[in-house]
A and B are shown apart, each in its own frame.
Chain A
Amino acid sequence: MDEKRKDQEQAEAPTQEQSTSKASEETLDVEALDLTIETVEDRINPSETNVFDK
């Protein structure tokens, strides 16, 4: 739940020193990356719109 997200956001963060060294382990060739991202917007089925009848 979003409470969980808040908890996570408040968790201890890594220091800069720890992390920049790890970042260099793999270099991203950003221009060549496939950066598609999609979510399913579930279409509303006619069967699920008579919610007041059921």
Chain B
Amino acid sequence: MSFPITLAFVPQGHFTQPYLALPCLKAWLQEAGFADVEQRDLSIEAYDHFLSPDYLRRAKERVRERLPLNAFEGRKSLPLGELRAFRSAAESEVSADAVIADVEGAKAIMRGEDFYDVDRYVPAVRTLYHGLRLVSAAHYPSELTPHNFTMGYANDRSEEVLAATLDEDQNPFIEFYREKVLPGLLARKPRLFGLSVVYGSQLIPALTLGRMVKEALPDCHVTAGGGFLAYIGEKLMGATGVEECLDSMIFHEGEAPMGELAEALRAWDEAGQADLSAIGSLTWFKHTDVGCETVANAPAHPVALNAAPPPDFDGLPFDLYFAPEVVLPYDINRGCYYGECSFCTLPTVIGPGYRTRSAETIASHLTDLRDRHGVRHFSFITDCMPPGMIRDLPEALIEAQSGIPAEERMKWWCDARIEPRAYTKEGAKRLHESGCRKLLFGFESATPRLLKLMRKAQSPRSVSEVARNCSEAGISVTLYAMVGFPSETAEEARATLDFIREHKDVVREVSLQTFHIDEVALTYRDPEQFNIKILDGAGTDLQLYHDYLSEQGMTQQEAAEMFDEMMNALRADLPIFSGDNIYYFMQKSHYFLHLARGTTPDEFVAQCQQRTEAHQAREAAGLLRANASRTSATLPFSHVAAANTLAHPLARAARPDFLTGRFVADAQAVAEEQLEPLPPQECVLVYDEVGHEFVELSRDGLRVLEAIERAGNVDNLLQSLNSTNPGARTRLTEYITQLHRKGLITSFQPATAVPSSFTEPHELTSL
């Protein structure tokens, strides 16, 4: 009897590469005898669909209907609560047409050889970002970015989460599922449908799809699992109304429970009876004559990883990801061999215990995946590699690829723990030889007192040594750093920043994060140990994260402000963080792909530095004219002021929290009280349709651009000036230089012979 299974990774995950959960499940189910397993990455499918000219055209019309820009005219002030709407309306007004025209080209750049040309890459990334802003504006107040999806509904209240699954005005995925997903599912009629929910940003999209599938296919069993549900699943399964979206939920590793669930459903179909209560780690809804009961089964045994099949990526749309080469995730181990860090709650996600595949198995799997899919690059999904693996894996990979030229061998990156005895000069050299191009170390802090409190068992000196050894071997080093750990002072946070700056010759990227307390963390369970007092929650039924008061050190608010201070300093000091180069960091594997192609970290950093310096020092020279490829709109309030207010830590605190999508209690009221409403300020928002950037000018600035246009070029305008004041000429010249740097003035070549004065164009700065 056929038993079709469909697995779906729901929006939103990042768009550069596939995720690992579904390929692991598919491989396991197929080995268990379920041959008909379909996997869909609906996150990348949705990004691809939303970032298409047709969809964006409709989004543009929706924005004009829902957020008309003229609604802000005549207002005496603009409070915080309306700034996002204003910004969305203004940006959509000037950018929509150019984004619609260029979005397919931008995706093609991401997926092709032009990806490696920074002058094409940066405008293309901006186009995608601005396309997503248009999609978001069309569903305001929802917000879809490359990194997150939030709605006006709180993720920590089941009532709101469930309401969001029905709100087509704000939930862009309802229409997407109806048009792009359900028709295929109706034809296929899966008997078991699995939703992968790794992040908080996937919760509403997952339940939305679960509801729609259950309505369309009443005989299909809808289950869900994944990292985020490991945290809140128990609460979610106890909430009224969730049974309309799901039939069951799987906790921790999904392979064995999913296999047993499929067996049970097949037995039901064949024999009319099945026992779901024996399936480990499954929580399910038992429907009786009197209602619906939630049943939580006992935990399943962890998977023996070395005996598990390699992930099966068949059916995933490799050509849709926004990267020229797909980087495949692969699980070399599960759990953490160290497992002591006091802030870490990852065992909650994967389940207890540490398991690993052998180095030989890993090498064999990777070469198989390389040959099967024609890929060359991998990211190892691991908390860290134990010292033995750091020694053995390079040997196995080198041996498995003997005879293959170095440049054609597989390249990889992964997270790592500071292990000075393993990341020696020789060890790092062997890692590089085996294809390792980037390692991301849990550094967290440069203060020994805090490292002890975190139970990291590492010293700043060992971080320095390991980072230097890896860097000298040609491996790019990224540090994870934390700001706001309980009791951390501002001085201690600055010491972390100073450490990074002192090592900027070997540390290329920093993943800086603010500290959070969730309900499974040691900091929550034993707050006295950290001298903190956990604040009562907002009484929300899906609450996971808690605010706290610390008896010493920075408050949460001060830590948020310190984050900005540190990030601003990093942007000034780290070349990959400077200017537009930050896009390489922000798009997950994009920097790695340059490394995998043969660019060394030193070379890449030098390119970034050169580009930033050249941009800052760019002088306007040659024949210059106004960039005609621009769209502008006169605004009643400043777009820049709105954006800056929205970026204030208080305003950001009022937005849904990243990890959970919760709205922090009172944050909106506090922000409204402390952040002044914007006063009216007429200005002109210009969209450079070539560079895909927003620039704000005064009305006079636009007049200058128009005057240059009428004059034909900058020289003509300057020659026509009546003013005899050299200061005025200098002032205008300096302004034109700024317009040039912003892309609103461009150089050009004369097409025909011109008078001699035009063949020796002025250097503007010397006028």
Contact = CB atoms under 8 A, between A and B. Distances in A.
A35 B731 contact: yes
B514 interface: yes
Contact of B695 (A29, A39, A51, A54): A39
Interface string A27-44: 111110111111110111
Contacts of A40: 639-640, 643-644, 694, 696
B268 interface: no
Interface in B667-699: 689-691, 693-699
A29 B724 CA distance: 11
Contacts of A5: 627, 629, 690-691, 743, 746
B712 interface: yes
B658 to A, nearest CB: 3
B58 interface: no
Interface in B728-744: 728-729, 731-732, 735, 738-739, 742-743
Interface in A1-36: 1-5, 8-16, 18-20, 22-31, 33-36
Given A47-B147, A52-B440, A28 B712 contact: no
Interface string B430-471: 000000000010000000000000000000000000000000
B587 interface: yes
A3 to B, nearest CB: 7
Interface string B64-99: 000000000000000000000000000000000000
A13 B751 contact: yes
Contact of A52 (B588, B695, B722): B588
B50 to A, nearest CB: 18
A45 B123 contact: no
A13 B748 contact: yes
A26 B707 contact: yes
Contacts of B629: 4-5, 8
Contacts of A16: 712, 716, 754-755, 757-758
Interface residues of A, number: 48
Given A39-B696, A40-B696, A49-B567, 8 more contacts: A13-B713, A20-B712, A28-B721, A35-B731, A36-B701, A40-B643, A40-B644, A52-B511
Contacts of B722: 27
B746 A19 contact: no
B440 A46 contact: no
A13 B478 contact: no
A28 B732 contact: yes
B538 interface: no
Name which of B199, B513, B587 has the most chain A CB atoms within 10 A of its CB. B513
A31 B723 contact: yes
A45 B652 contact: yes
B728 A30 contact: yes
A14 B713 contact: yes
Contacts of A42: 643, 647
16 contacts: A4-B689, A8-B748, A18-B712, A22-B711, A22-B712, A23-B707, A23-B712, A23-B716, A27-B722, A30-B725, A40-B696, A42-B647, A43-B647, A46-B563, A48-B658, A54-B199
Given A16-B712, A19-B710, A9 B582 contact: no
Given A20-B711, A48-B148, A54-B14, A33 B704 contact: yes
Contact of A19 (B511, B512, B695, B716): B716
B696 A37 contact: yes
Contacts of A33: 698, 700-701, 703-704, 731-732, 735
Contact of A39 (B511, B694, B711, B731): B694
Interface of B: 13-14, 102, 105-106, 109, 119-120, 123-124, 145, 147-148, 199, 415, 440, 478, 511-514, 560, 563-564, 567, 571, 582, 585-588, 623, 625, 627-629, 639-640, 643-644, 647, 652, 657-659, 689-691, 693-701, 703-704, 707, 710-713, 716-717, 719-723, 725, 727-729, 731-732, 735, 738-739, 742-743, 746-752, 754-755, 757-758
Contacts of B721: 27-28, 30
Nearest to B148: A47
A9 to B, nearest CB: 4
The main secondary structure of chain A at its interface with chain B is: loop
Name which of B627, B643, B689 has the most chain A CB atoms within 10 A of its CB. B643
B751 A12 contact: yes
A13 B625 contact: yes
Contacts of A8: 627-629, 690, 746, 748
A3 B513 CA distance: 37
A12 B749 CA distance: 7
Contacts of B659: 47
Name which of A5, A8, A15 has the most chain B CB atoms within 10 A of its CB. A5
Given A23-B707, A26-B710, A2 B716 contact: no
Given A8-B746, A51-B511, A37 B738 contact: yes
Nearest to B747: A9
Nearest to B91: A40
A49 B728 contact: no
A30 to B, nearest CB: 4
Given A16-B754, A38-B640, A3 B625 contact: no
A38 to B, nearest CB: 4
Nearest to A51: B588
Contacts of B628: 8
B707 A2 contact: no
A32 B287 CA distance: 77
A37 B732 CA distance: 12
A30 B723 contact: yes
A8 B694 CA distance: 19
Given A8-B627, A51-B147, A1 B695 contact: no
Nearest to A28: B707
Contacts of B712: 13-16, 18-20, 22-23
Contacts of B640: 38-40
Nearest to A44: B567
A29 B707 CA distance: 12
Contacts of B751: 11-13
CB-based closest 8 A-B pairs = A19-B712, A47-B658, A23-B711, A14-B712, A12-B751, A23-B720, A30-B728, A34-B698
A3 B628 CA distance: 15
B748 A36 contact: no
Nearest to B101: A4
Contacts of A22: 710-712
A38 B695 contact: yes
Contacts of B586: 48, 51
B663 to A, nearest CB: 14
